[in-house]
């Protein structure tokens, strides 16, 4: 664990390969790997390939601050599990009705994406298993907390959160809600940006995420899964 420094990953595939090595103690026949789309998908696929483990997605999205769409005060998961930063929400002065409206809008977008992703990916159960939930980076940690709360409803044996990089605040937010959190880098630099830790970075489109999922399913159907996805 490194505080304050900025090592670089070549891309999400490189980050996933390195993270898989760090996660080896959690590998077993009862491990499932869950990605937070979009950027978490290529990272998680490398881990699932390395572990020969079942792979799925848990779709979450942040609830953004009205005047600043880059910032969020909470997040929602596909089954309606929601996390709100109550302290930030109090400072924003939003009414319960405003929060409810925004959450409903976010959930509608989640449902659209879930429907799209399910065309290429079968659902996997985490019940009684070790669920490793993966993202490409943790900035605020809100979307990951919502993902954890969603996966808890499936009654896994334990939940491990994994990410190549996390801000110190996100790490501290997530740690109490899961059984373990594994990050290659925990950074206390400010301002924090996940993209700054990657040489090659862009926000993945729906088409790109769907292609990753389709390729995974095709390789799985052929009994493969060891070829590098790029």
Q: Is the pLDDT of residue 230 over 80?
A: no
**135's tokens:** 């993202």
How does pLDDT run across 135-168, given as a tens digit for each residue? 999 998 999 999 999 999 999 999 999 999 999 9
pLDDT mean across residues, the chain: 90
Q: Going from the N-terminus, what domains does the chain have, and what CATH number goes with each?
A: 12-59+127-221 (3.40.50.2020)
Percent of the chain with pLDDT over 70: 93
DSSP string, 88-123: HHHHHT--HHHHHHHHHHHHHHHHHHHHHHTTT---
Q: Could you tell me where the beta strands, DSSP code E, fall in 13-148?
A: 31-35, 55-57, 60-65, 68-77, 82-84, 130-134
Mean pLDDT (whole number) for 182-197: 90
């Amino acid at each position: 664990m490194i505080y304050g420094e900025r090592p670089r990953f070549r891309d999400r595939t490189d980050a996933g390969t390195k993270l898989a090595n760090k996660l080896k103690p959690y590998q077993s026949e009862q491990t499932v790997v869950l990605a937070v789309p979009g950027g978490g998908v290529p990272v998680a696929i490398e881990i699932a390939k390395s572990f020969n483990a079942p792979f799925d997605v848990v779709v979450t999205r942040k609830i953004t601050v009205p005047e600043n769409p880059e910032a969020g005060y909470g997040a929602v998961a596909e089954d309606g599990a929601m996390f709100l930063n109550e302290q930030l929400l109090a400072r924003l002065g939003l009414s319960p009705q405003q929060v409810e409206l925004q959450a409903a809008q976010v959930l509608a977008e989640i449902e659209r994406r879930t429907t799209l992703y399910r065309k290429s990916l079968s659902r996997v159960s985490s019940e009684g298993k070790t669920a490793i939930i993966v993202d490409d980076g943790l900035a605020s940690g809100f979307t990951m907390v919502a993902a954890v709360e969603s996966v808890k409803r499936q009654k896994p044996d334990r939940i491990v959160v994994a990410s190549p990089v996390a801000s110190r605040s996100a790490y501290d937010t997530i740690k109490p809600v899961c059984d373990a959190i594994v990050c290659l880098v925990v950074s206390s630099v400010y301002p924090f940006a996940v993209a700054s830790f990657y040489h090659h970075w862009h926000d993945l489109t729906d088409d790109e995420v769907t292609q990753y999922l389709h390729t995974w399913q095709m390789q799985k159907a052929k009994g493969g899964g060891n070829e590098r996805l790029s």
